[in-house]
């Protein structure tokens, strides 16, 4: 007898096959049978799904639940829309590793980059960790209804190793790079899915400072990448320069170094492709560059949103029509 059988729903299995009415059986947390009632058998629990869609859960590979995951076991609103797995730590921002005196800085970084209210983060988060493995250990104590995968972010790593120098984007020394690589190896051993960095000037802390690592030199990026190679698993994720349309040539130059990095470390390198009105043909160039990398044997992947990016604008939000206007900025 199966643990669960979902009866009579319209099954869309994600393979491209046509929709069909079928029963779905689950045992030990896995789908073990899909078919007619007679073929599937009985379940300890059975759900009548007549009139409903039965689909695989969505895996959202680019989220910023890094703070919310520490207090919200439902992970709303993702759970309302069929998302069963979320991946955090994207864009080089996150909350581990972190010393007590760095907490405010990392919250202000997340608030500025992702427009997540700092008040909610300050009130909601309970800091039961310093290292990245301790962060994962704390997440493991939560009784969530969603699976969570976490990446190690450049911003907190750079701040942890270099202090104010790292937060203010000063160049990393060889000793700094060795220390950051050690943290990456530790995180990968503990269960991190990969490492992420941001290089776009669009990503700034609430005080206007770019994300730590925005201007990192290749020796830093490749030194960190080598730690992924040592681990033998994991993805190197990038929010590339030029993604906000600030430099038409930057994104294609970014693919060039990502191609070399992927070849050097033998790990996938993924980058976000956000189309900008400033460069309406950019996506074609990036598709061509990414395909050329793949043809050369470098595993470079483009992450593309399934819908246009939207922001809430009002005079009470971080992003509003008057932001960036000299007269208004002088008043605030």
Query: Are residues 184 and 200 both part of a single domain?
Result: yes
Q: What is the pLDDT of residues 184-230, one digit of tens each?
A: 999 999 999 999 999 999 899 988 899 999 999 999 999 999 999 99
Q: Residue 74 has which token pair?
A: 């439902």
| CATH number of 112's domain | 3.20.20.140
The mean per-residue pLDDT over the stretch 293-299 comes to 95
81 and 44 housed in the same domain: no
41 and 76 co-located in one domain? no
- Region 175-188: what's the mean pLDDT? 99
Give the per-residue pLDDT at 312: 78
Number of domains in the chain: 2
The answer to whether residues 47 and 105 belong to one domain is no
| Together in a domain, 155 and 45 | no
Q: What is the domain extent for residue 315? A: 58-330
Is residue 276 predicted with pLDDT exceeding 80? no
The CATH number for 23's domain is 2.30.40.10
Q: Give the global pTM.
A: 0.89
The residues near 251 (Cβ < 8 Å, ≥ 6 apart) are: 240, 241, 242, 243, 273, 282, 285, 286
Same domain, 84 and 211: yes
pLDDT level of residue 137 (50, 70, 90 thresholds): very high
**Residues 18 and 147 reside in one and the same domain:** no
Q: What is the DSSP string of 97-111?
A: S--GGGHHHHHHHHH
Tens of pLDDT, residues 1-39:
999 999 999 999 989 999 999 999 999 989 999 999 888
Residues 95, 47 within the same domain? no
Cα dist. 106→122, 231, 241, 264, 319 in Å? Answer: 11, 26, 21, 31, 19
The C-alpha atoms of residue 172 and residue 166 are separated, in whole angstroms, by: 7
Are residue 145 and residue 191 in the same domain, yes or no?
Answer: yes
């Amino acid at each position: 007898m199966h643990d669960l059988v979902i009866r009579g729903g319209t099954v869309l299995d994600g393979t491209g096959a046509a929709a069909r009415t079928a029963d779905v059986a689950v045992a030990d947390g896995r789908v073990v049978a899909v078919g007619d009632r007679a073929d599937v058998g009985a379940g300890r629990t059975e759900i009548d799904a007549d009139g409903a869609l039965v689909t695989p859960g969505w895996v959202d590979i680019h989220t910023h639940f890094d703070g919310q995951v520490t207090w919200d076991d439902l992970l709303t609103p993702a759970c309302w829309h069929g998302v069963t797995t979320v991946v955090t730590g994207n864009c080089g921002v996150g909350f581990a590793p972190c010393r007590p005196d760095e907490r405010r800085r990392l919250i202000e970084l997340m608030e500025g980059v992702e427009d997540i209210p700092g008040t909610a983060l300050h009130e909601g988060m309970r800091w039961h960790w310093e290292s990245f493995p301790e962060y994962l250990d704390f997440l493991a104590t939560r009784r969530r209804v969603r699976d969570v995968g976490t990446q190690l972010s450049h911003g907190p790593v750079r701040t942890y190793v270099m202090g104010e120098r790292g937060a203010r984007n000063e160049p990393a020394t060889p000793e700094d790079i060795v220390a950051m690589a050690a943290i990456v190896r530790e995180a990968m051993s503990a269960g991190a899915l990969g490492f992420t960095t941001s290089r776009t000037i669009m990503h700034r802390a609430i005080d206007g400072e770019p994300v730590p690592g925005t201007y990192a030199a290749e020796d830093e990026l490749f030194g960190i990448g080598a730690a992924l190679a040592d681990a033998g698993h994991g993805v190197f994720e990038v929010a590339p320069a030029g993604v906000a349309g600030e430099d038409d040539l930057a994104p294609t130059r970014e693919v060039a170094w990502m191609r070399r990095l992927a070849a050097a470390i033998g790990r996938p390198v993924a980058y976000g492709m956000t189309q900008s009105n400033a460069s309406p043909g950019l996506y074609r160039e990036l598709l061509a560059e990414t395909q050329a990398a793949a043809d050369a044997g470098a595993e470079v992947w483009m992450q593309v949103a399934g819908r246009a990016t939207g922001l809430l604008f009002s005079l009470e939000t971080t992003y509003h029509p008057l932001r960036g206007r000299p007269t208004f900025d002088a008043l605030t």
